[in-house]
Amino acid sequence: MQNKKKLALALAILPSLPLAAHADVTVYGFLSGGVESTKATGNGDTAKDYRSTTRVLDNNSRIGFKGNEDLGNGLKAIWQVESSLRNFEQGGINDKGETATLATRNTFVGLQGGFGTFLLGNYDTAYKRLPGSVGLNILGDTAGDTHGGVGIHSRRETRLKNSVNYTSPMFLGIQAGVSYGVDEARTVGSVDGYRQNDDRLSVAASYANGGLKLGAGYDREGSRLNSSTPANQTKSIDKTEGYKLAAGYKFATGTFVGAGFEQVKVDNASAADTTQNDWLVALGQDFGAVTVKAGYGRLGKLKNAAAGTEDDYKARQWLLGATYDLSKRTQLYAYATKIKNESKASVNFVTNSVYSEGGGTGAAKLTAGNDPQAFGIGMKVSF
């Protein structure tokens, strides 16, 4: 009888042991899917149009695992593995033929304490994270996403592989950060023998006080070769620099007003150096569980481009949308947006880009001069 009691006690305790061992591990993420009508035409060659299409979409879904270990004296070891669930609606393969794999998003190991946070891995740059806290990307994770390399604004923000990142503690509403990523390949140009150093430095800060949020950032990318084709590799760019300012205010009435400005300078190795500005304004209004949003952005002329072509690199985008919170975790949304590209511009949707050439391959691209537009509805469930 005594042995039976011990066995029953052991069986009762056993299920709790794995939970205790992993009590500091958090599983998080969201699934966001929608239906969208989109097209991109206007380049002058109908063979290179992206014709009107209805798409069932994944809107940047993800899953992550994170945890920490208390090392004592206020010091913690922290880690995170975050993965894209990219295009879950079509088997995990996007329109460039890319597949979702483990640790494609912010993934790192680091230390956290009173001094701040040090991280090592694949992580959003300070230029992206801290000014991004202002909240200007009002329709992020939809076709109305405005921030990123192919977007209308904040075109120098990125997630940086092979990087070391530091974020300071918050002090009087101020937080600062720095990111540095190395170029591990250091490719040597086959034509001129130049060894590329495409490293990256990002420095930024943010300020928060009540409804006011401010952000500023600097990003510098090193030298680059002009081609991935060995027979053509010569030094093309000495460095690329980005400067960004962002400001926003959320009133007690639920009204949000914000604006951002960015300047990107490219120091070319032989061609004339170029400069291009972009800016964005964003508005929002809460009505209980409903939030209505609107924004407008412009990409300016490419200064010092070939004579007579500077204005051909301009683009503009408008966006409208609304969200409805069914609960703290479940949200419905709707949006509409249109991008107007001049003849040499190819601003695209940051989330679920459209491609009018080379679809299904790594060389897929939007033909310059095509004007992407979309409207859609969707549902997002966070966990």
Q: What is the pLDDT along the chain (383 residues), one digit of tens a residue?
A: 444 444 344 444 444 444 444 448 999 999 999 999 999 999 999 999 999 999 999 999 999 999 999 999 999 999 999 999 877 767 667 777 777 778 999 999 999 999 999 999 999 999 999 999 999 999 999 999 999 999 999 999 999 999 999 999 999 999 999 999 999 989 888 888 889 999 999 999 999 999 999 999 999 999 999 876 766 788 899 999 999 999 999 999 999 999 999 999 999 999 999 999 999 999 999 999 999 999 999 999 999 999 999 999 999 999 999 999 999 999 999 999 999 999 999 999 999 999 999 988 888 999 999 999 999 999 999 99
CATH numbers and ranges of domains, the chain: 26-382 (2.40.160.10)
Cα–Cα distance measured from residue 229 to residue 210, given in angstroms and rounded to the nearest whole number = 52
> Tell me, what's the pLDDT at 231?
62
Cα–Cα distance measured from residue 372 to residue 213, given in angstroms and rounded to the nearest whole number = 31
Please answer whether residues 246 and 259 qualify as being in contact, where contact means their C-beta atoms are separated by less than 8 angstroms.
Answer: yes
> Tell me, what's the pLDDT at 230?
66
Please answer whether residues 352 and 148 qualify as being in contact, where contact means their C-beta atoms are separated by less than 8 angstroms.
Answer: no
Phi/psi of residue 313, nearest 5 degrees: -100, 5
Q: Please count the other Cβ atoms lying within 10 Å of the Cβ belonging to residue 169.
A: 13
Cα–Cα distance measured from residue 89 to residue 61, given in angstroms and rounded to the nearest whole number = 10
Cα–Cα distance measured from residue 147 to residue 127, given in angstroms and rounded to the nearest whole number = 12
> Tell me, what's the pLDDT at 20?
42
> Tell me, what's the pLDDT at 13?
44
Contacts with 141 (C-beta within 8 Å, 6 or more apart), sequence order:
32, 59, 60, 351, 380
Contacts with 275 (C-beta within 8 Å, 6 or more apart), sequence order:
263, 264, 265, 266, 302, 303, 304
Q: Which pTM value belongs to this model?
A: 0.89
> Tell me, what's the pLDDT at 97?
73
Q: Please count the other Cβ atoms lying within 10 Å of the Cβ belonging to residue 171.
A: 8
Both tokens of 219, joined, read 């990003």
> Tell me, what's the pLDDT at 292?
98
> Tell me, what's the pLDDT at 6?
41
Cα–Cα distance measured from residue 52 to residue 58, given in angstroms and rounded to the nearest whole number = 19
CA 345, 349, 354, 355 torsion-angle sign? positive
Dihedral over alpha carbons 81, 134, 61, 83 (to 10 degrees) = -20
